[in-house]
Structure 1
């Protein structure tokens, strides 16, 4: 027996949920297959719990940055209350609310591990071992997400290493934490657990943090983490780890001959696609790899318009908000093609995820916050863009000085001189994550700088940095 739907979605994370919802809104039918919790990694073990852990420390830092408020905040954070607040947001992994939402939207949920079983067919193996087959009239959308990649460190797979999952869901603060990595997860989790009282050491193979960003981002986060008391060791890699069976402490050996003793080790060095057991081989695709797609999120390695991939697994923009954006485009393409129209990719089409190429906003909730969108200066030059970069210290803006005493922040615009438009922006400092959307709109809208001059920021706000940047450019 086969149950048939217009669209079968494998993976109930942010991308899968949105794809199914938009398909149903278009008048088609859809079903979601999920083996774990509906809502995916973001809801329970990544974005949501990490920001819940980070916010109390940020609130304290904001109070400390203003004389008069500083004197009112005299104690440390209450770890038990911080962890309890996090659990209120995540429900400790209970996905009842998310599953109920699917039901209310008219989207059946099939719990179990889904894998392709040929063209337009998905076999779902339930927890009890029963197998159910789902057939798609139109399309299968794959959104299995990714899983942590562990570095090649001897013994790491035997110590009960932390990944993002344990780092965002732990029930107690470790006394000593070693973090392997220097990217977003490493920096945010170092910030969160240090603010809760842990002694934190970062082992960073590179010579800077956030190496894919503008240099100012890594420099500011390094200064912020160091100010919090985090020890950062650049140009160092862990080579061997071992956990003591009696004390439960972990010994970490590094390639420069040092030995560290800690209570937990967090590996935060990247992600790999969850495609090893997705049945890709049944349709002629290699198992275990990423799934390249076009701008409609159609898997390009297959002929026909029936297999799509959204979210991290397509390796375009591994961020929750971009997974949802891709899902909207994917669903629109499926509906368009179901109606007999071609849904060719092109500018400003609802079914074309073109922002993946030009305007991917990112936000890191460290001290200070950092945010970016579009191209770095280096990436723009490597792409052959005629570039001019403009920078400004945000602390020189009246609104920033009022917002925080000794406001520290940096703004950088990357301008395409041939077109007179912004193609990249990086911001650091308090409120940076809230300010970045202005740059996103400017890049997507291709708004000429002389037009931005007439978008007057209110006084006295931190947004006045846009006026200062334009003045620095020469307008």
Structure 2
């Protein structure tokens, strides 16, 4: 069959969700994929990366508790950690994901998809003639993003590692040079240091994790240095080369040369639309691709990283679920407003995006930082309160000498939470409550009655609200 109701290009979790929701809505769907079904997150990003980081986190947690620290090892077992990672990448085989597609009633075509016209996708297949697929209702772009390589002389020719090569490494390099200080760079610095590599980070900016509150990046940098990493802020490589001996040499502006066995480039990602699609895909709130005049094309949709709105797996899946429902609603003759989530399906992509950076300490945030809120609403309307997480009873039980910090950012005019940031061990589990507060625009005086269980780290909410309570106008 070459004609379907919906054609999805890209079989990552975002494309899978779009196709699944369309099928649940009574439509037929096919996914076109050139690589592994399951995409970047399943094999080269989210899952194997977090699995690789977990042994180090677990060992650090055990060392922080008397009675456990006395029986723990000096360091993690590198070989066992790599094997644990391999299991979460399904050993880079997609049999399980392919089976899931079949069970969900979604067809799969292997090959590289390109837009060949309205509602038409041509699939280029190795050793076979191109296959032309036609969509009755919609083509969905879910082709994700690709890492960027900065224009440092010699870097591209030095066979640098991106996240793919770094997470699938078969052995642990003795020396690792990481270029970039964002989420990917900070997480890989943590992982390779735990595994025993001597890690050097070159960070152009003045702190790690520049999109987060300043105290987050400062805490992660301090922790990495304590672990033994060489974190250099405000530093860039002027030239990188790999010698015939296989050694990577990075020359800094000062003339210093840093040697490493591998160089990891972690300087961001950019959308990767398929051939035939606009180079810069623009969408409306329903994920419909817009033409040059800003009007929806009506048959072309784009979800996930490819539309550039929020380059995070969970946000892409959120977009995909809503877009699939909307496509099914329109195909059945209903108005877009009749889709389960309404016409404005992706409003949480603006000011309520949660993210967890799995460094040590973890950084969990949602919504606006204090600086972002102040820039938008003005200093008089924004109030930020901080609290030391180590002072919370649940944190003290969790780990001896627990350190961390929390910040709540509030719109004093509407008395609602605009953003929250938590830094500390295992704070990733705190961010969903904050996300619900931000998305639901729950008034601060109502949050006061959401009593946290004692003794848990969630008691931080009570302490932050007590700090806000010093301003009686926010809590009455």
| Contact in 2 for aligned 1:13/1:41 (Cα 8 Å) | yes
> Which consecutive unaligned segments of at least 5 residues does structure 2 have?
470-474
| Contact in 2 for aligned 1:148/1:270 (Cα 8 Å) | yes
- Among 276, 279, 285, which residue is 2:276 paired with? 279
Q: Provide the C-alpha distance between the structure 1 equivalents of 2:444 and 2:107, rounded to a whole number of angstroms.
A: 48
SS at match of 2:288: coil
* Residue of structure 2 equivalent to 1:430: 425
- Closer, same or farther: CA 454–347 of 1 in aligned 2, 3 Å: farther
- Among 243, 246, 263, which residue is 1:248 paired with? 246
What is the CA-CA distance between 1:188 and the residue it aligns to?
A: 0.1
* Residue of structure 2 equivalent to 1:48: 47
Runs of 4+ aligned residues of structure 1 deviating over 4 Å after TM superposition are 344-348
What is the CA-CA distance between 1:348 and the residue it aligns to?
A: 5.7
What is the CA-CA distance between 1:304 and the residue it aligns to?
A: 3.0
| Contact in 1 for aligned 2:387/2:463 (Cα 8 Å) | yes
* Residue of structure 1 equivalent to 2:67: 68
- Among 397, 401, 426, which residue is 2:396 paired with? 401
How many residue pairs were aligned?
465
What is the CA-CA distance between 1:92 and the residue it aligns to?
A: 2.3
Q: Provide the C-alpha distance between the structure 2 equivalents of 1:74 and 1:202, rounded to a whole number of angstroms.
A: 27
Does residue 460 (structure 1) correspond to residue 459 (structure 2)? The answer is: no
- Among 293, 299, 303, which residue is 1:306 paired with? 299
| Contact in 1 for aligned 2:363/2:421 (Cα 8 Å) | yes
* Residue of structure 2 equivalent to 1:266: 264
SS at match of 1:186: helix
SS at match of 2:196: coil
- Closer, same or farther: CA 194–345 of 1 in aligned 2, 3 Å: farther
Q: Provide the C-alpha distance between the structure 1 equivalents of 2:345 and 2:249, rounded to a whole number of angstroms.
A: 50
Q: Provide the C-alpha distance between the structure 2 equivalents of 1:470 and 1:347, rounded to a whole number of angstroms.
A: 34
Q: Provide the C-alpha distance between the structure 1 equivalents of 2:102 and 2:341, rounded to a whole number of angstroms.
A: 32
What is the CA-CA distance between 1:172 and the residue it aligns to?
A: 0.5
| Contact in 2 for aligned 1:330/1:351 (Cα 8 Å) | no
> Which consecutive unaligned segments of at least 5 residues does structure 1 have?
none
| Contact in 1 for aligned 2:364/2:428 (Cα 8 Å) | yes
| Contact in 2 for aligned 1:147/1:274 (Cα 8 Å) | yes
Q: Provide the C-alpha distance between the structure 2 equivalents of 1:345 and 1:25, rounded to a whole number of angstroms.
A: 16
| Contact in 1 for aligned 2:326/2:339 (Cα 8 Å) | no
* Residue of structure 1 equivalent to 2:352: 359
Please list, as runs of the form range in 1=range in 2, the aligned pairs for 1:127-146 lying within 5 A after superposition: 127-146=126-145
| Contact in 2 for aligned 1:310/1:323 (Cα 8 Å) | yes
Q: Provide the C-alpha distance between the structure 2 equivalents of 1:116 and 1:388, rounded to a whole number of angstroms.
A: 48
Offset from partner CA, 1:387-407 (integer Å, 9 cap, x none): 111110010111111111111
| Greater shift in the superposed pair: 412-421 or 247-256 | 247-256
* Residue of structure 2 equivalent to 1:33: 32
- Closer, same or farther: CA 38–254 of 1 in aligned 2, 3 Å: same
Q: Provide the C-alpha distance between the structure 1 equivalents of 2:282 and 2:395, rounded to a whole number of angstroms.
A: 43
Cα RMSD, aligned residues only: 1.5
SS at match of 1:423: strand
Q: Provide the C-alpha distance between the structure 1 equivalents of 2:164 and 2:399, rounded to a whole number of angstroms.
A: 34
Q: Provide the C-alpha distance between the structure 2 equivalents of 1:351 and 1:22, rounded to a whole number of angstroms.
A: 17
- Among 332, 335, 347, which residue is 2:328 paired with? 335
* Residue of structure 1 equivalent to 2:472: none
* Residue of structure 1 equivalent to 2:93: 94
Q: Provide the C-alpha distance between the structure 1 equivalents of 2:55 and 2:73, rounded to a whole number of angstroms.
A: 14
* Residue of structure 2 equivalent to 1:226: 225
* Residue of structure 2 equivalent to 1:470: 465
Please list, as runs of the form range in 1=range in 2, the aligned pairs for 1:118-129 lying within 5 A after superposition: 118-129=117-128
- Closer, same or farther: CA 345–175 of 1 in aligned 2, 3 Å: farther
SS at match of 1:305: strand
